[in-house]
Amino acid sequence: MIETEIETRPVEKVRDTYKQNGMPASSRARPRVVIVGAGFGGLAAARELANADVDVLMINRTNYHGFWPLLYQVATAGLEPESIAYPVRAILRRYRNASFLLAEVSGVDFEQRTVLTDVGSVSYDYLVLAAGSTTNFFGNDRFAQYTLGMKDLDEAQRLRNHILYCFERAASEQDAARRAALLTFAVVGGGPTGVELAGAFVELIRHVMRKDYPMLDVHQAHVVLVEATDRVLAMFPESLQRAALDRLRRMGVDVRLNAPVADVRPGALAFKDGTELAAETVVWAAGVRASPLAEALGVTLGRGARVKIEPTLTLPGHPDVFVIGDMAYLEGYRPDVPYPMVAPVAIQMGEQAARNIIARTRRNPMKPFRYFDKGQMATIGRSAAVLDAFGIQLTGWPAWVGWLFVHLMELVGFRNRALVLLNWAYSYFTYDRGVRLIFGIGADEQVKVRTLNVERANVERANVER
């Protein structure tokens, strides 16, 4: 077996961590599986390895697992951040062979079989890379600079603070055009995240902000969903796409199809046809790409900077290195179409990678990944959703109940389920939202950002005039 001494910086600190968790360091008799990422894929792999004759070390840059499908509810003041996150250690303590290291992984030395982290290097016998994805700005720095993302808890909290702040500013703004821009909420990208967020914005404005800001005419508030193609929810069957579009428009969302974005400026969105939209809030939900770790590996990448892998989920030429979930590019979902970046794919890949690791430890052949498609769903506000599963297509209330049930059951931890259920019931019966505080991440940034934006806008205007 390979020597798996842990090199650390400082050495004692990380070694102590391992001892605290009963993890033998250099004296291990069993192979070590290092899992990078405590998301859907990484946790599924750890769970599948729980009774295997291996030691599992999970590395994650945060100490929690995030349930991203409910992130938009954190951003729209429906849920507290902590109700959709769960401590990794609390999950792993059920597994006697698993341990956790809080660290950011920056690369892998495949020759030395070592993972490079900000607290030192960790050697592995088997490696599962499951670091997920990040927002894709398609190389445009201005999109990244002037839009708000929604990929993790920090971003969702920043967005929530920004929205609440816009209402506060609008309440005291005398200039009608400025007030309109403060009350315009644009979401770029008509995929499930964009659709869910646009629906949630409307509900927040219609049911909550209307009562909180009686001095504002909330009819001035404008939710715009911008999509470059001619449809929303492109992955869904056409009938459900139409149902979703119809529902959004009936709710009052200004859905702009065939509207590719040319540029984003402070406080404005410019379209390719030359028109502009003044909006203080622009959320970028138009694309995802693999975690930057994929590029740092120096291996062949596919579309979306995802790592090209074998059907056994291994890296070509490295049968002990598995890449799964959003980071992985594997065709086979449909002919020439890669598996989508969704939670069920990540979970099933995690389970298959773990089974293949067990097979290798027993010198058995590995099996290719086979996906069991359980369908897809998206919610479009209160009592409305679209659901496409096992040949059944549902819309409206039945789809919404299905959506609520699945998301509640998939959440990790009884406490989180109870918190979410309580919040949902409260919102459903009172038409209110409990979490409308401007605090935490991004709260004190708002004033600075605003000043900066105005300064940048002035500089840009001066440049144009010159």
Could you say which of 54, 182, 226, 346 contacts ligand FAD (CB under 6 A)? 346
Cis peptide, bond prior to residue 10, ω within 30 of zero: yes
386 scored as a contact of ligand FAD (CB under 6 A) = no
CB–CB of 350/314 below 8 Å?
A: no
370 CB burial (10 A radius; 0-12, 13-18, 19+): exposed
Residues 6+ apart with CB under 8 A from 137: 143, 144, 147, 284, 287
Could you say which of 31, 78, 267, 325 contacts ligand FAD (CB under 6 A)? 325
Could you say which of 291, 314, 416, 446 contacts ligand FAD (CB under 6 A)? 291
Could you say which of 21, 28, 62, 401 contacts ligand FAD (CB under 6 A)? 62
Site for ligand FAD in 133-152 (CB under 6 A): 150-151
Q: Which is nearer to ligand FAD, 131 or 313 (CB)?
A: 131
- Minimum distance of ligand FAD from residue 401's CB (angstroms): 16
Q: Which is nearer to ligand FAD, 1 or 409 (CB)?
A: 409
SS3 191: coil
DSSP class per residue in 49-102: TTTSSSEEEEEESSSEEE-GGGHHHHHTTSS-GGGGEEEHHHHHTT-TTEEEEE
Could you say which of 120, 190, 266, 344 contacts ligand FAD (CB under 6 A)? 344
Q: Would residue 3 show up in a list of annotated catalytic residues for this protein?
A: no
37 scored as a contact of ligand FAD (CB under 6 A) = yes
Active-site residue, selected from the candidate residues 196, 227, 280, 351: 196
Q: Which of these, 182, 133, 170, lies nearest to 282 by C-alpha position?
A: 182
- Report the residue closest to ligand FAD, judged by CB: 39
158 scored as a contact of ligand FAD (CB under 6 A) = no
**How far apart, in whole angstroms, are the C-alpha atoms of residue 375 and residue 465?**
53
What is the chain's alpha carbon radius of gyration, rounded to the nearest angstrom? 23
Site for ligand FAD in 86-125 (CB under 6 A): 104-105
Tokens of 244: 């979703």
381 scored as a contact of ligand FAD (CB under 6 A) = no
Tokens of 171: 């309440």
Q: Which is nearer to ligand FAD, 181 or 345 (CB)?
A: 345
Give the catalytic positions in this structure: 196
> Which stretches of the chain bind ligand FAD, using CB under 6 A?
36-42, 59-62, 68-69, 71-72, 104-105, 130-132, 150-151, 192-193, 291, 293, 325-327, 341-344, 346
